Amino acid sequence: MIKINVMYPYSDSTRFDHDYYLKKHFPLVEERLSPHGLRGWGIEKGLSGGAPGEKAPYHSIGYMLFDTVEAFQAGMAQVGQELVADVPNYTDVQPQFMVSEVVK
């Protein structure tokens, strides 16, 4: 199984609408990518860094689970433009992506 992590770096000058991300964007992701092998997803909301009073390094980290990288890529080839077009509705942050293998 692979995990696609979508990370939104935090800064004081950026905007992130967590409510929209949870209630509108990820349901859209689920609807569009499930036919292409999406197995699950989740969202983490940044609260703080590791030190007392330190700001979180990310507004949010969303993730999607697929059986293979190829399944994710095929799905994004079909519906990715629509999903990317929705991003300005909840943030002005350029997301960072990391593909990882779930080992446990």
Instruction: Read off the amino acid at residue 43.
Output: I
Average pLDDT on 38-51 reads: 96
CATH of segment(s) 2-97: 3.30.70.100
Answer whether 88's CB lies under 8 Å from 71's CB: no
**What distance in Å separates the CA atoms of residue 84 and residue 89, rounded to the nearest whole number?**
10
DSSP H/E element including 14: none
Average pLDDT on 23-30 reads: 98
How many residues does the structure list for the chain?
A: 104
Query: In this structure, what token pair is assigned to residue 77?
Result: 């080839």
CA 64 from centre of chain: 7
- Helices 69-86 and 26-33, interaxial angle, to 10°? 140
Q: Say what the pTM is.
A: 0.92
% of the chain beyond a pLDDT of 90: 100
Q: How confident is the model at residue 86 (pLDDT cuts 50, 70, 90)?
A: very high
pLDDT score for 45: 97
Q: How many CA atoms lie within 13 A of 93 on its CB side?
A: 24
Average pLDDT on 68-74 reads: 97
Question: What is the overall mean pLDDT for the chain?
Answer: 97
Query: In this structure, what token pair is assigned to residue 83?
Result: 């999903």
**What distance in Å separates the CA atoms of residue 17 and residue 53, rounded to the nearest whole number?**
22
